[in-house]
Amino acid sequence: MKSHIRTLQIAFTYIGTIVGAGFATGQEILRFFTRYGHWALLTILFSAALFIWLGTKMMIIARKISADSYEDFNRHLFGAKAGTIISLFTMIILIGVNSIMLAGAGAIFKEHLGLPYQAGLLLTILGSYLLLKRGISGILQINSLVVPLMLTLSLILVCNTLGVAGAERFLFLPTDYSSINAWISPLLYTSFNLGMAQAVLVPLARHTDDERALVRGGILGGAGIGFMLLAAHFAMSSQMPGILQFEIPMGSIAIRLGPVVQMVFLLLIFMEIFSTFVAGIYGVSVQLQQRLPVAPALVAPLLMLICYVFSQFGFSSLLGIFYPIFGALCLIWVVMLVRSPMSPPPGHGKPPAGGAGGKKQGITIVSIKPAIRTTRK
């Protein structure tokens, strides 16, 4: 029973790490999959297979080399010097992603609540500041509740779309894009998300003493991501091309489910954005506190101010500009992950947590707190 619980915790953490603002709102799915028409079904299945394979492989390697942080993992893939540079680049990407998260919160307030865009930004920043004073454990626990709800809502969307005229359009939706673009898109999408997910999944694996739970959690988590991609694509395809005009396309689809379901869905989107934003700010601030001669109490507010400035460009604009660029650069990281052997050389790394020479640790939601902490090297 304990092993099954650990498997679910790992799977929900994996899904929650990938499901950020762009995913939950539908913008990522629309830009990387749905707009490619009839190719989208196959490319989503391809992306899900990559999530299962590479996400699981990353966690297994991280456990075997006893990587405490994504910087340790990058040093394993690229070597000490290059790995440190890649880790710094990852930090810069996280700042960009946090700006996109913040812009997504503002878009929800403006488009679906009828409130000012700036109100969404400022409320998210204020709430994040207050929560960061207490640590990240609370947000990680909330995420474990949000993911099952999002999976349930995805199932509801599928069932509801089955009765809508044009539900079968996802099979033959026309597109002006070439097949080459269609197949490059899932590579960019998967590379980017796995590159970001390492900040959480690497230390999670380090503190898991059951490799079978990691494997099962990686498979279940990757399959869950694939299911949510398919559900959102299926629902949005029936509303193409009109749905392209919305900043929060999934929110517009939720309207037909009734006002109660719509508000629940929008609340879930906001909670996912909020928790991801707080986790990202916390992770970057911890790393910067170790590198900059600035008072620790000032780092997080300064980061949020930077994100606030970038969020003025709008959610979909930031998503369309930065995500493809980040995805292309993360392709290098994925290539190194693919090339890396599953088993490290003998004597490489420290004993895994819970293994010989280490204190056994069980997995709880709180146990992934080190996921956004970078150790001093």
CA distance 222 to 226: 6
First-to-final CA distance of the chain: 38
Which amino acid does the sequence have at 298? L
| Per-residue pLDDT tens digits for 263-308 | 787 788 788 788 778 777 876 776 677 667 777 678 888 889 988 8
Q: What is the pLDDT of residue 243?
A: 73
Q: Is residue 373 scored above 60 in pLDDT?
A: no
CA distance 84 to 90: 10
Q: What is the pLDDT of residue 55?
A: 94
Nearest to 231 by CA among 12, 41, 55: 41
Q: What's the token pair of residue 277?
A: 């934003």
Q: Output the CA–CA distances (angstroms, integers) from residue 156 to 48, 152, 153, 323, in the order listed.
A: 20, 6, 5, 28
Write the DSSP assignment of 22-42 as a string of letters. Answer: HHHHSHHHHHHTGGGGGGHHH
CA distance 223 to 305: 36
Averaged pLDDT score across all residues of the chain? 77
Q: What DSSP character marks residue 346?
A: T
CA distance 69 to 202: 6
- Helices 296-311 and 315-339 cross at an angle (nearest 10°) of 120
Please tell me which of 32-36, 44-48, 123-127, 300-304 the model is most confident about, judged by mean pLDDT.
44-48
What would the mean pLDDT of 344-364 be, rounded to a whole number?
48
3-state SS class at 357: coil
- Who contacts 295 (Cβ-Cβ below 8 Å, separation ≥6)? none
Segments in 164-210 forming alpha helices (H):
179-206
Q: Output the CA–CA distances (angstroms, integers) from residue 71 to 53, 86, 112, in the order listed.
A: 21, 8, 39
Torsion over CA: 218, 223, 224, 230 (sign): positive
| Per-residue pLDDT tens digits for 136-188 | 566 566 767 888 888 888 888 788 778 777 677 677 777 788 888 889 889 98
250 vs 53, which has greater pLDDT?
A: 53
Q: What DSSP character marks residue 234?
A: H
Q: Output the CA–CA distances (angstroms, integers) from residue 87 to 72, 92, 100, 181, 322, in the order listed.
A: 9, 9, 20, 29, 18
Are 228 and 19 contacting, i.e. CB atoms less than 8 angstroms apart? yes
260 C-beta neighbours (distance < 10 Å), count: 8
Q: What is the pLDDT of residue 90?
A: 78
Please tell me which of 39-43, 160-164, 247-251, 297-301 the model is most confident about, judged by mean pLDDT.
39-43
| Per-residue pLDDT tens digits for 80-109 | 888 888 888 777 777 878 887 888 788 888
User: What is the torsion angle, in degrees rounded to the nearest 10, for the CA atoms of residue 212, residue 213, residue 217 and residue 220?
Assistant: 60
Q: What is the pLDDT of residue 61?
A: 93
Backbone angles phi, psi at 345, to 5 degrees: -60, 150
How many residues are there in the chain?
Answer: 377
